[in-house]
Amino acid sequence: MSHSLSEYGPLTHKPRGYGFSEKGSVLEIYEPLSDSPQILIMGSIHGDESLSTVLLSESLRSLQAHELKSSIILAANPDGVLAGTRCNSRGVDLNRNYPTNNWSPDPVYYRNRPGTSQNIALSPGDVAGSETETKALIKLIQDTKPKLIVSIHGFLGCIDDPHASPIAKDIALRSGLELVPDVGYATPGSFGSWCKEQDIPIITYELPSQDITEMKHVHTPILKDLCTGHYHKMLV
């Protein structure tokens, strides 16, 4: 039985460490008590998109330990979350640091709010796969072999799945977000590109830019269903 709303306070699930960040923070994953998890859900590969962590945490805190059927990484970039930065502590955009065929050593430029110029420069890393956070996540995925990864971002307001899988279609329908084959611009060295090259299905869940209360109302139930195995029957 799920927790009541009055029990949403502390996070009582116990994680295990799968590595360390550049500043020595433990990289944590929450896993089911039994069964091999088929879905990995992760938030905050960009530290300035930490609402993904908030929503995932609320979903996890609403569950009893035995209800958790998927693996959850609340923050793939904990140093960035603590600093409020998109990048990790070395100024690297982790979502451009993966060893892919399209990785580029050129600086990565982004905008920190809609309507502004895309002129804030970050590093993609000295070489592809240079960062400890990147190496740790790659090893974790190689060890656990998830059948689907759902990576939560902000704030493009869409569901990105080039295969338009049944799970992505259902999430798009429930969230009211557009289902798209890509985000509309090049993403060299991205985690999504790496997953595709490894033949690992990935859905990029781009949260919309809206009030956090409305976000919780719309997206927490979807994330909770991802956590509890509701979508496992739809896996190919």
Which residue in the list 22, 31, 131, 206 is annotated as catalytic? 206
Active site residue 7: no
Q: Which of 87, 70, 102 is nearest to 133 (CA)?
A: 87
Tens-of-pLDDT digits for all 236 residues of the chain?
444 444 568 999 999 999 999 999 999 999 999 878 999 999 999 999 999 999 999 999 999 999 999 999 999 999 999 999 999 999 999 999 999 999 999 999 987 666 666 778 999 999 999 999 999 999 999 999 999 999 999 999 999 999 999 999 999 999 999 999 998 888 999 999 999 999 999 999 999 999 999 999 999 999 999 999 999 999 97
How far apart CA 177 and CA 159 sit, in angstroms, is: 6
Question: Which pLDDT score is estimated for 99?
Answer: 98
- Which helix (H) or strand (E) segment is 63 a member of? none
Question: Which pLDDT score is estimated for 3?
Answer: 47
Question: Which pLDDT score is estimated for 103?
Answer: 98
Q: Which of 147, 156, 134, 151 is nearest to 205 (CA)?
A: 151
Q: Which of 18, 37, 23, 2 is nearest to 224 (CA)?
A: 2
Question: Which pLDDT score is estimated for 185?
Answer: 86
Which value, to the nearest 10 degrees, does the dihedral of the CA atoms of residues 129, 198, 111, 23 take?
A: -30
Per the CB < 8 A criterion, the answer to whether 44 and 81 are in contact is yes
